[in-house]
Amino acid sequence: MASNRDKSRVELARRNGYLELFRKLTSANHKVHSGMTPAFLVTHSGGFHADELLSSVILTRLFPQARLMRSRSPEWITSSSDRIIYDVGGAYDTDVRIFDHHQRGAPLREDGQPYSSFGLIWKHFGHDYLAAAGVPAGDIETVYANFDSSFVLPIDLTDNGVLSPSIAGQLAGLTLPALLESLKPVFDDTDPGAKDRGFHVALGIARSFVEARIARSAAKLRAEALVQQAIDTAGAGHILELPMGMPFRPSVIKAGADHLLFVVHPRGQDWCLTTIRREDEGFAVRANLPAAWAGLTNADLEAASGVPGASFCHNGRFIAAASTRVAALAMAELAVAEALAETSESLPTE
């Protein structure tokens, strides 16, 4: 088995490789804005959508001194050396810094899927945004690609009518594009400044979602090494003990640690015992906590489990808590034993 030092070297080489790839892939994009300090960030006036809001999040972080203008007046949406124009202007021309997608011959991704203004702004300014946000250089390309595929692309497809929020069923009205657009003024609000005020309220909310998503993506990469070390320590055991709560499933899958069934970690003043989901989506887990514990707390749970310090088990049997590490590990061992017994009972007999 490779030592932790060897794995650290492999990880360093991997990240250095990404950094070199990042430099090669983004050198052309940096020419769009290298050394420029725009005085204006120009998008269209009137009603607003998620794509130009999210584009504004990226650009206002990189160019905080620039004035954000919302207009359809020709004098504003015509290219000039003092501005970046997006989601308006009728062209996609990086030489003059216009990033629209509504015109004939609008740009497409390499796989043929359409860009919105957000996708175009992210393509050319995303790497610099991540650097400004404090993402380590060796992680930038990984975070960039993840955010592009999981956050930017769905906005692009929705804005172009390729993807409908209706696929979310009852949650359709709670998707990010729908929620941001709900901040538009109502139809009979005749205040001339209402739409601009609504835009800036929505911009602050959109900024929070982008920053949180980026922070979580970067945190997952930071967690990788910690989880891998815990997997090594667990060996052939079925319990993964972590030093704190953190994203663990990606690393468990990456390591091929199919034998792991439960995770234990400290949580504030107590300890947490959780299951491991089988898939990224859905609620199916590798093993449930014992049915006899479901919905019990404190003395009732201690009696049912036989573990002093057992304090809580969710009725859904996917998470439990205990007052001490010893109690949490004892609960985990009992859960493992029951899960393995159930598995052996379900195997066909000769």
Measured CA to CA, the distance from residue 275 to residue 169 in angstroms comes to 28
**What's the pTM value of the predicted model, to 2 decimals?**
0.79
Residues of the chain with pLDDT under 70: 1-35, 345-350
Name residue, tokens 């590490």: 325
Buried b (16+ CB within 10 A) or exposed e, 279-316: eeeeeebbbbbbeebbebeeeebbebbebebbbbbbee
Residue given tokens 């919302």 in the structure block: 70
Tell me the β-bridge partners of 43: 70
What integer pLDDT is reported at residue 62 of this predicted model? Answer: 98
pLDDT tens for each residue of 128-143 = 999 999 999 999 999 9
Please give, one letter per residue, the 3-state secondary structure of 302-341.
HHHHCCCCEEEECCCCCEEEECCHHHHHHHHHHHHHHHHH
Mean pLDDT, the chain, rounded, equals 90
Question: Is 289 within 8 Å of 320 (Cβ atoms)?
Answer: yes
pLDDT of the residue at 135 = 96
Q: Which residue has the tokens 């696929």?
A: 167
Find out whether 55 and 97 touch, Cβ atoms under 8 Å. no
Q: Residue 137's pLDDT is what?
A: 96
**Checking DSSP bridges between strand 92-93 and strand 83-86, what pairing results, if any?**
unpaired
Residue 35 has what pLDDT?
62
* Closest by CA position to 159, among listed 177, 183, 172: 177
- Contacts (Cβ under 8 Å, ≥6 apart) of 291: 317
Distance CA 95, CA 27 (A): 14
Question: Tokens 């990404």 map to which residue?
Answer: 18
CB-based contact 176:156 (threshold 8 Å): no
Q: Which of 184, 158, 165, 199 is nearest to 68 (CA)?
A: 199
> Domain residues of the chain, as ranges?
4-220, 235-346
Helix, strand, coil percent content, the chain, rounded in steps of 5: 50, 15, 35
Give the amino acid at 84: I
Predicted local confidence at residue 281, as pLDDT: 77
Q: With beta carbons less than 8 A apart as the criterion, state whether 262 and 332 touch.
A: yes
Query: Which pLDDT score, from 0 to 100, does residue 21 have?
Result: 42
Q: How far is it, in rounded angstroms, from Cα 182 to Cα 49? A: 10
